[in-house]
Amino acid sequence: MNQYMLSIYIRDNHSVLNKITAVFGKRKINIDTFSARRTQYPQIIRVTITFTCLNGEIESIKDELSGLLDTISVNLKDFENKTDYVEELLLVNVKVESYNKNILMDYLYNNNADIVFNGSENIISRLISSTPEIDRFVDGLCEYEIVDINRTGPINVQMEL
């Protein structure tokens, strides 16, 4: 089993996202991350999906997604591929007590996380990094109470034209 990233450009029509997820559902493949956003063209959406599947399944998934009426293009982005710049965004809200606030702030600083809100009872932090680095960062927060956490999942842009 390998982890894959697909970048899909689609026309913005109703139920097109349902059709994309159905391709995975009928194969019993869980989607790890799903991101959709309009491009510079208002009628076109870029969808980025990460998932894990067998090597033999990837081509049939790409072919079926390419065959959907609203699909413009489907691009496979292997995580080992160095032609794309890949990052992820993390927002995390952590409850703090007066005795551990400075320790938490040092941890955030040492891991290049931005503090976007510094309250008396909680700190909201932002980190933009690779998925493994964000995983490691979140693991380091295990001694604190995480009130809320949100991750974009990996997103990418092609480095060279």
* CATH classification for the domain delimited by 2-78, as one of 2.60.40.790, 3.40.50.2000, 3.40.190.10, 3.30.70.260: 3.30.70.260
* Backbone dihedral region for residue 138 (phi beyond 0: left; psi -120 to 50: alpha; all else: beta): alpha
Q: What pTM did the predictor assign?
A: 0.77
Domains of the chain by residue range = 2-78, 85-158
- How many whole angstroms from its chain centre is CA 132? 12
| Alpha-carbon span 32 to 4, nearest angstrom | 10
Q: What is the pLDDT along the chain (161 residues), one digit of tens a residue?
A: 888 999 999 999 989 999 999 999 999 999 999 999 999 999 999 999 999 998 889 999 999 999 999 999 999 876 665 777 889 999 999 999 989 999 999 999 999 999 999 999 999 999 999 989 999 999 999 999 999 999 998 888 877 76
Q: Kindly report the CATH number that applies to the domain delimited by 85-158.
A: 3.30.70.1150
Sheet holding 71-78, edge to edge: 31-38, 44-53, 2-11, 71-78
